[in-house]
Structure 1
């Protein structure tokens, strides 16, 4: 009996020691975070904005140093086999002129609702056909942009292991095919795979990634619980990062999406302003930035630039825009 009790005590002590050890700040965290922005042409359009005007204002006024740009299937292949890259050529050229580094995001599941962005002509096709068409598209995109001077990395799919959006169940073997295709066409730029910061343990995504990206949300709306503020200290992210590095030593980790816009029960462009304020105020905006600094992963890409511009130009509230501008000037 005494021996069993002793073993139990030793095991519990080992668990506590291990937890404390893994909850320490990773050696590469920093307070000098490089701040970036994600931009969605489709979301800017859906917010009722002139998306080109919004994009130029983001680059010219906010002056981010790095930009994450999803290239949507429905945008570049509106008709089967007919690719049109004019809008993306223009956006990439504008970023190049401003010396903004870029992450180009490829795949079917990309940022912004409905997550899986499928052109009308492909929606009724089988999963096998859609996958074949996606590989052809990825090949076209990578070959077109792999020599860009300001290309930092490719991101393949967006949070592929998170069951969210109007998407089929993840096919890990197909994700592996997509990643392998990108690497076969471009061995100069790393591949990013992302996952939910709060709802995943990261292992499946991180093992496939040259660089792993985590989301970071603070106040969200859930169907059955209403508005929820995640009660997660920075140690939560440190624990996960250190655990990942037990399996994949030295794995770079950054914040692919830092919440800087509301998350409500409706799509943002249908959400009344008073409802938006339940998950995002200027105070919450600042707290989210402070939280990201505490966690210390760099770079960190803010999620919401299109909304800041919408607030500034449509709702005469430039507070978020000014706060972001101040942040990017640091």
Structure 2
């Protein structure tokens, strides 16, 4: 009996060791360089530029002409477009899209009530107190108006419907799954020529929303601040997102995925980076972290990557006389 027990322990040890070796080899393989970031872009938020005290038009021109960016994600904020019921203001968005189109650039236009940049929720004040059903009908009207306005614009490459609608972050009320289906169906009926995307957390979800769209965008964050302080995703190798995507792609049967939000600016627990001391910002994102993030992106195996933080790079250059981030970013856009 004792010999049998020893054999069992020995066999268990062998299997545990084998599993450890497989996991270690898998981890190392996922760390091998295999390309990535061949089709780079940025998210450009007019409201965030203004929060940083920048002139949005000036910034956009510099992104286009100095950085030579040609792929953009632009949020069509409902609260800016329809700040009063049935009063539609598109001049700022017309101007941005025209500037990008004039230089041969393309845009993923993000539409919906939950869109990139804090507070994540971009519902106009007049609609925020509506009963849910009425507010949802108002959202659909804004979607219809916006898609119809831009579906023939030469810059529009793709529609993104909502931003991480299944991830509880920001001040938005939860977006009902049934309502997301309504939004996607409406946009598809209005423009059958362009792909439709939505987004999800790269680390903290199973990307289930991918089964509802043509493409799924996911976020990648390397350093964040949580309840226990600064948290680094050091244990996730570059190809983690590629392998996860390939696995869930088979599970949920969606067409493709890409990185819609790759962290390239600091994380703050304060209301804004404008009130966060620079030395505190450097704790989560300094130039060394930027270079490491670039290396990570280029080893991810994912070709289409939209970087997050272009407004901050310019703010550091113009307001704080630290052009090093802006200059480093030029290596991203050949």
TM-score by length of 1: 0.90
- Please say if residues 196 and 213 of structure 2, whose CA atoms lie closer than 8 Å, have aligned partners that are also in contact: yes
- Please say if residues 198 and 213 of structure 2, whose CA atoms lie closer than 8 Å, have aligned partners that are also in contact: yes
Question: Take 1:311 and 1:48, find their aligned partners in 2: how far apart are those partners?
Answer: 11
Give secondary structure in 1 for the equivalent of 2:268: coil
Deviation at 1:249, TM superposition (A): 5.1
Matched, 1:66 2:50: no
- Please say if residues 261 and 306 of structure 2, whose CA atoms lie closer than 8 Å, have aligned partners that are also in contact: yes
Between stretches 34-43 and 145-154, larger displacement belongs to: 145-154
Matched, 1:55 2:60: yes
Question: Take 2:231 and 2:290, find their aligned partners in 1: how far apart are those partners?
Answer: 16
Q: Which residue of 2 aligns with 1:315?
A: 320
Q: Which residue of 2 aligns with 1:79?
A: 84
- Please say if residues 253 and 298 of structure 1, whose CA atoms lie closer than 8 Å, have aligned partners that are also in contact: no
Question: Take 1:105 and 1:18, find their aligned partners in 2: how far apart are those partners?
Answer: 41
Q: Which residue of 2 aligns with 1:236?
A: 240
- Please say if residues 158 and 194 of structure 1, whose CA atoms lie closer than 8 Å, have aligned partners that are also in contact: yes
Runs of 4+ in 1 over 3 A off after TM superposition: 11-25, 29-32
What aligned pairs does 1:258-277 form with structure 2 within 5 A after superposition?
Answer: 258-266=262-270, 267-277=272-282
Cα deviation, 1:29-60, whole Å, max 9, x if unaligned, reads 74462110100011111111111111111112
2:330 to 311, 325, 329: 325
What aligned pairs does 1:1-330 form with structure 2 within 5 A after superposition?
Answer: 30-31=35-36, 33-202=38-207, 204-222=208-226, 224-231=227-234, 232-248=236-252, 251-266=255-270, 267-328=272-333, 330=334
- Please say if residues 37 and 304 of structure 2, whose CA atoms lie closer than 8 Å, have aligned partners that are also in contact: no
RMSD: 2.7
- Please say if residues 39 and 67 of structure 1, whose CA atoms lie closer than 8 Å, have aligned partners that are also in contact: yes
- Say if 1:143 and 1:326 are closer, same or farther in 2 by CA, change over 3 A: same
- Say if 1:14 and 1:247 are closer, same or farther in 2 by CA, change over 3 A: farther
Question: Take 1:236 and 1:87, find their aligned partners in 2: how far apart are those partners?
Answer: 38
Deviation at 1:15, TM superposition (A): 8.9
- Please say if residues 22 and 239 of structure 1, whose CA atoms lie closer than 8 Å, have aligned partners that are also in contact: no
Unaligned runs of 5+ in 2: none
- Say if 1:235 and 1:321 are closer, same or farther in 2 by CA, change over 3 A: closer
Give secondary structure in 2 for the equivalent of 1:177: helix
Cα deviation, 1:90-134, whole Å, max 9, x if unaligned, reads 000000011111100000000001101111211221221211100
- Please say if residues 22 and 238 of structure 1, whose CA atoms lie closer than 8 Å, have aligned partners that are also in contact: no
- Say if 1:134 and 1:12 are closer, same or farther in 2 by CA, change over 3 A: farther
Question: Take 1:264 and 1:305, find their aligned partners in 2: how far apart are those partners?
Answer: 16
Cα deviation, 1:124-150, whole Å, max 9, x if unaligned, reads 212212111000000001001111222
Give secondary structure in 1 for the equivalent of 2:121: coil
- Say if 1:13 and 1:87 are closer, same or farther in 2 by CA, change over 3 A: same
Give secondary structure in 2 for the equivalent of 1:240: helix
- Say if 1:281 and 1:106 are closer, same or farther in 2 by CA, change over 3 A: same
Question: Take 2:199 and 2:317, find their aligned partners in 1: how far apart are those partners?
Answer: 30
Deviation at 1:279, TM superposition (A): 0.6
Unaligned runs of 5+ in 1: none
Question: Take 2:186 and 2:68, find their aligned partners in 1: how far apart are those partners?
Answer: 33
TM-score by length of 2: 0.89
